[in-house]
Amino acid sequence: MSARSDWQDWNVVNDRTLIRWVIVAVVVLALLNLPASLSSGIKAMFRETARPLQSAVDGLVGAGRHFFTSVGRIPSLARENDQLRLEVARLQAERNQTRALEAENAELRRQLKFSPPPETEWIAAEVLARSRDGWWQTIRLNKGSGHGIAENMAVVSLDGLVGKTVAVSRNTADVLLLSDPACKVSARVLRTGSFGVVNGRGPSWSGQVFCRMEFIHKNDDIEPGDEVVASGLGGVFPANIPIGYIDRIATDHSGLFQQADVITHADLGNLRYVFVMKRKEAGL
Amino acid sequence: MKVIALLFLLLAGTALQAFIPALTWLGYASTPVLGAIVVYYTLFRGGAMMLAAALLGGLFQDSLSLIPIGYSSFGFAVGALIIERYREVIVLQSPLTHMVLTSLLHAGVTVFLALMLVQGDLIGWQPGWLLLKVGGAAVLGLVAGPVIVGLTHLLEEKLGLIEGNSDDEGAKRTYYGIG
């Protein structure tokens, strides 16, 4: 009788466990197979809800970091103050020289045609937050579909290419940064016209962001310092947007191509304002 | 009331987890706030509440990131069912239990997510960083587990959800000296 009771208990326990596994399987399968529109709708709803909090928390984190940095520097403030006075004098002297450099810089940018291509308009946006889950290198902007932003639009800063939009809600847009391995850009070396693909190398210990340009023909005469721009192939990134410059060059493992480390012009770790490049409708 | 408390905890946990800065030397692993809440509900609630915590927690976690919806739910739910299987033979009230279980759950879910994301070609295969991230997840689980589990218990107690709950013998006992 006792053995029979144990057997019944065992059956009940196993039935319950089985039911739970079935529930999990059904719910997870349903979640994984949600229609794309519903899935992105759910994500958009969460992002919209979290937006004010995210902005506030980012502000708090920034203020906290600033506070602790300031407190840590109190002992050296007097000495630093003296140095700053000297620095102010030096900077005043440099100001005139800077004006000349600014004019030259503007001219060089004009020559590089780094201005909105005629078929695009720029939507200015502020960086709301940086991704903290660590799986992707992304930033979140404070503008979204309500401002004309859609997925797969190029994002630039005044220095150069930043990345592309990957998820958009009404008032936010997530941008996959150029430094992420999942972000691939068809590119060419401006001096030689050599084509290749630039993609990110992920996070680095030093915090230095760099990308790698791969599949450059082995006979192409590229050099460190060469400017790299978007080729315009692929349809997401308009041609001639500056990406960065070549740092180191090596032959890839197959021996058929060269690959080059590329230092990005845009400071991807310290972005504040960016521009989303929206293609104008035909006929406008 | 229990369901409202669970939803509040999960929403607050999601916000907290999403906004706590990640550290480079821990592989940018997130702090396992939701993981610890799932551990709490697995140890002290079980059944429907455990599954609800795991599935909803995963849904909330995925919704604020680029991870496809459902991945984290699966990881949390499987982790919770495995923990529940051994619930009778572990010391429920011990902080050490919460440390180890949160650490294992978070590291396990991180491994699962990494495999799924790499397999789906959503992230690149960077074994060094992934290893660091899993290690970071385990370390953060050790640190955050007892804190979050303790706070969750405290909240439930303040809301009167533990007193009079005859199903949860473990949860009625004094807990970290705050019960």
Structure confidence by residue, pLDDT tens digits, A82-119: 788 888 877 877 776 777 677 767 666 655 555 566 67
Q: Pseudo-torsion of CA A88, A94, A95, A99, nearest 10°?
A: -160
Report how far residue B124's alpha carbon sits from residue A179's, in angstroms, rounded to the nearest whole number. Answer: 12
Say if residues A228 and A213 touch (Cβ distance below 8 Å): yes
Say if residues A228 and A188 touch (Cβ distance below 8 Å): yes
**Does the predicted interface ipTM exceed a cut of 0.95?**
no
**What's the gap in Å between the CA of A78 and the closest CA on chain B?**
32
pLDDT of residue B124 exceeding 60: yes
User: A284: which 2 tokens?
Assistant: 């406008």
Minimal CA–CA distance to A176: which of A254, A249, A236? A236
**Is residue B125 helix, strand or coil?**
coil
- Give the best residue of A10, A28, A204 to mutate against chain B (max B CB count within 10 A): A28
The answer to whether A50 faces chain B, any CB pair under 8 Å, is: yes
The answer to whether B51 faces chain A, any CB pair under 8 Å, is: yes
pLDDT bin (cut points 50, 70, 90) of residue B97 is: very high
Chain B residue numbers with beta carbons less than 8 Å from the beta carbon of A136 are: 65-66, 123
- What pLDDT was estimated at residue A107? 60
Q: Is A157 left (phi over 0), alpha (psi -120 to 50) or beta?
A: beta
Of chain B, the percentage scoring pLDDT greater than 90 comes to 43
The answer to whether B55 faces chain A, any CB pair under 8 Å, is: yes
pLDDT of residue B127 exceeding 60: yes
Residue carrying structure tokens 């984290």: B72
Chain A residue numbers with beta carbons less than 8 Å from the beta carbon of B47 are: 20
Minimal CA–CA distance to B63: which of A201, A44, A191? A44
- What pLDDT was estimated at residue A118? 66
Mean pLDDT, rounded, of chain B: 85
Helices then strands, counting H and E runs in chain A, come out as: 3, 12
* Record: contact A57-B64, CB cut-off 8 A: no
Q: Which among A54, A135, A203 has the least Cβ separation from residue B117?
A: A135
Chain A residue numbers with beta carbons less than 8 Å from the beta carbon of B106 are: none
Q: Which among A20, A32, A53 has the least Cβ separation from residue B70?
A: A32
* Residue A196, H or E segment: strand A195-200
Chain A residue numbers with beta carbons less than 8 Å from the beta carbon of B77 are: 24, 27-28
Tell me the count of A-B CB pairs closer than 8 A: 109
The answer to whether B151 faces chain A, any CB pair under 8 Å, is: no
Higher confidence at residue B88 or residue A115? Answer: B88
The answer to whether B21 faces chain A, any CB pair under 8 Å, is: yes
Neighbours of A233 (CB within 10 A): 14
Could you give the angle at the alpha carbon of A189 between the alpha carbons of A187 and A194, nearest 5°?
85
pLDDT bin (cut points 50, 70, 90) of residue B164 is: very low
- Give the best residue of A18, A135, A137, A211 to mutate against chain B (max B CB count within 10 A): A135
Say if residues A132 and B30 touch (Cβ distance below 8 Å): yes
Residue A74 CA to chain centroid, in angstroms? 35
Say if residues A240 and A228 touch (Cβ distance below 8 Å): no
The structure's pTM equals 0.74
Report how far residue B56's alpha carbon sits from residue B72's, in angstroms, rounded to the nearest whole number. Answer: 9
Minimal CA–CA distance to B39: which of B178, B164, B153? B153
Could you tell me what percentage of chain B is helix, strand and coil, using 3-state DSSP and rounding each to the nearest 5?
70, 0, 30
Minimal CA–CA distance to B43: which of B152, B125, B147? B152
- What pLDDT was estimated at residue B78? 92
* Record: contact B129-A202, CB cut-off 8 A: yes
Q: What values do phi and psi take at A162, rounded to 5?
A: -110, -45
Q: Which among B29, B74, B123 has the least Cβ separation from residue A181?
A: B123
- What pLDDT was estimated at residue B148? 94
pLDDT bin (cut points 50, 70, 90) of residue B165 is: very low
- What pLDDT was estimated at residue B174? 46
Contacts of B131 (CB under 8 A, 6+ apart): B27
Say if residues B83 and B44 touch (Cβ distance below 8 Å): no
pLDDT bin (cut points 50, 70, 90) of residue B101 is: very high
* Record: contact A31-B59, CB cut-off 8 A: yes
Chain B residue numbers with beta carbons less than 8 Å from the beta carbon of A138 are: 66
- What pLDDT was estimated at residue B166? 43
* Record: contact A133-B28, CB cut-off 8 A: yes
Ranges of residues in chain A whose predicted pLDDT is under 50: 1, 283-284
pLDDT bin (cut points 50, 70, 90) of residue B156 is: confident
Say if residues A231 and A195 touch (Cβ distance below 8 Å): yes
The DSSP-derived string for A220-260 is: ----TT-EEEE--TTSSSPTT-EEEEEEEEEE-TTSSEEEE
The answer to whether A181 faces chain B, any CB pair under 8 Å, is: yes
Chain A residue at shortest CA distance from B125: A181
Chain B residue numbers with beta carbons less than 8 Å from the beta carbon of A23 are: 51
- What pLDDT was estimated at residue B151? 92
Chain B residue numbers with beta carbons less than 8 Å from the beta carbon of A58 are: 19
- What pLDDT was estimated at residue A207? 61
Q: Which among A27, A58, A134 has the least Cβ separation from residue B55?
A: A27
Say if residues B55 and B73 touch (Cβ distance below 8 Å): yes
